[in-house]
Chain A
Amino acid sequence: MARIVFDSAAVLTIVFAAVMVLSRHPVKGVLSVVVSFFFLAVAYVLLAAPFIAAIQVIVYAGAILVLFLFVLMLLNIRLEEVETDTRPIQRVLGGGAILLFTILLVTLLSARGAPKAVDQALATPSSGAIEPVARFVFSEYLLPFEALSVLLLAALVGAFVLVSREKRP
């Protein structure tokens, strides 16, 4: 049962990610990312990580993508225009990247024990406890955690400086 739900969530995540890439319409692209992230959250719940799932929905689907949508709607961007292909090297590199990714994916999936790993993870009883996460973040990984917050602050200040410079006469 859990396996069926997990597999369909995983497939839908990938399908909607593909819709995002292929969609010519920016707003529909953002919406398919939302759906994709939602199914990713479903997968997290099944892997006994409801906290990560909730954060995934709150931060990504609920805040960041709403901002994306806000900007798209504010600028009222219509259909993406089909660009004339000026850089053929991009196609070659893109094709190479797809090939490399496929090889990596197939190797990973065909590795011994890979199909069983998902079953094992799904069979782990979900404690859903948040305390272990908090303990790790605020003890062992305190320094990286604080460094990240400083990095975000720097980005915030940077954005502010960029905006206020434009306003000056």
Chain B
Amino acid sequence: MTLLDWAILVARVALPALILPGIVIPLVWYERRFAAFIQDRPGPNRVGPFGLLQSPADILKLFMKEDVIPAAADRLLFLLAPAFAVFSALATFAVIPYGATLRVAGRDIPLLGADVSIGVLYLFAISSLSVYAIVLAGWSSNNKFSLMGGIRSSAQLISYELAMTTAAAGVILAASSFRLPDIVGTQQETWLGIIPKWNVFLQPLGFLIFFIATFAETNRLPFDLPEAEAELVAGYHTEYSAMHFGSFFLAEYINVIVASALTVTLYLGGWSLPGFDPRGVIGVILSLLVFAAKTAFLVSVFVWVRWTLPRFRYDQLMALGWKVFLPLALVNLFWAAVLELWRAR
């Protein structure tokens, strides 16, 4: 590999890793303004134009605050947990293709961090490890509310991971590949030239299960039981202050973006649009914008749902995951197999 190859590789990997935390700053403002709109109040509008500087001010505050570590906490694990939360949130994005392949000076640059043959499995591996951040934070704090949050989180994530992976198995079956670029590739055909052959139209049930399960995986309402403030103070991050709390906050929002991006890739055709053929630099930039627009739409749905639905009770959460989503995901897998057989006929 030449120096240029290395530079391109570093750029491919580093750009999303740098941009994602950057997007979180306006995203927090966006969520608060959206919430205010839903609840018919102005929202943060004092700091800067339209309150846009509210989030940077908040982050500055988080950096300046005193960082308290409880005396009875397990110091090493207490400090490791928030770092691991951010790591697992960022590492997930590495295999998601965020744009069409760029052709410059005779070289093909695929716009994704790493093109691995087990793409989807890598995603599930990292997201299944992300539970450790919450569980360790809950346990190492030596606080009963934190511990309850951690215990809930481990049960919740395992339960919904099953439904999520089973739903995604339908997509893998349709694409006959674990590679995410292949999954985007199979969704580029159209019916009658207008309606795109996205997996959301082929497997609507699978899309619903997957998308709802991502709410549980990212601990967002209506599934934010690990931090249910009415019962658990703040759940697993009760004892965290200053930027250690900020890390969990950051990880949650990155997780929301990554979950949306993943849903876009698996079910909404990734960066593709019907009749859109990305050529040259401008085409690739347009494909990036298409991907960003679709992801932004799903992030808005996350915010919208948060301020619309109340929180589930713990037994409802478990019953929904095991008795409704898992069987329905199996039905979806069967449906995907039928579709595949019908197409092969």
A63 proximity list for chain B (CB < 8 A):
128, 158, 161
Would A74 and B158 count as touching, CB distance under 8 A?
no
Would A128 and B118 count as touching, CB distance under 8 A?
yes
A67 proximity list for chain B (CB < 8 A):
154, 158
Q: Does A138 contact B (CB under 8 A)?
A: no
Interface segment among A49-57, A107-115, A157-165: the answer is A49-57
A31 proximity list for chain B (CB < 8 A):
77, 132, 136
For the complex, what is the distance from the CA of A67 to the CA of B132, rounded to whole Å?
11
B77 proximity list for chain A (CB < 8 A):
31
* Whole-angstrom distance between the Cβ of A100 and the nearest chain B Cβ: 35
By the criterion of a CB under 8 Å from any partner CB, how many residues of chain B are at the interface?
A: 25
Chain B 148-177 interface mask (CB, 8 Å, partner A; 1/0): 001100110110010000000000000000
Q: Does B307 contact A (CB under 8 A)?
A: no
B155 proximity list for chain A (CB < 8 A):
70
Known contacts A74-B151, A130-B178; is-contact A62 B128 (Cβ 8 Å): yes
Q: Secondary structure of the A side of the interface?
A: helix
Within 8 A of B (CB), among A53-106: 53-55, 57-58, 61-63, 66-67, 69-70, 73-74, 76
Q: Which residue of A lies closest to B131 (CB)?
A: A66
For the complex, what is the distance from the CA of A74 to the CA of B125, rounded to whole Å?
24
* Whole-angstrom distance between the Cβ of B268 and the nearest chain A Cβ: 24
A11 proximity list for chain B (CB < 8 A):
none
Which of A53, A57, A74 lies in contact with B129, CB distance below 8 A? A57
Would B117 and A50 count as touching, CB distance under 8 A?
yes
Q: Which residue of B lies closest to A74 (CB)?
A: B151
For the complex, what is the distance from the CA of A27 to the CA of B74, rounded to whole Å?
11
A55 proximity list for chain B (CB < 8 A):
121
Q: Which residue of A lies closest to B129 (CB)?
A: A62
Q: Give 12 pairs: A residue, B residue, CB < 8 Å, sorted on A.
A: A54-B118, A54-B121, A57-B128, A58-B125, A61-B128, A62-B129, A62-B131, A66-B154, A69-B154, A70-B155, A70-B158, A73-B150
Q: Residues of B at under 8 Å CB distance from A?
A: 77, 116-118, 121-122, 124-125, 128-129, 131-132, 135-136, 138-139, 147, 150-151, 154-155, 157-158, 161, 178
Q: Residues of A at under 8 Å CB distance from B?
A: 27, 31, 34, 50-51, 53-55, 57-58, 61-63, 66-67, 69-70, 73-74, 76, 127-130
8 closest Cβ pairs, A-B complex: A62-B128, A128-B117, A54-B121, A57-B125, A70-B154, A50-B118, A54-B118, A58-B125
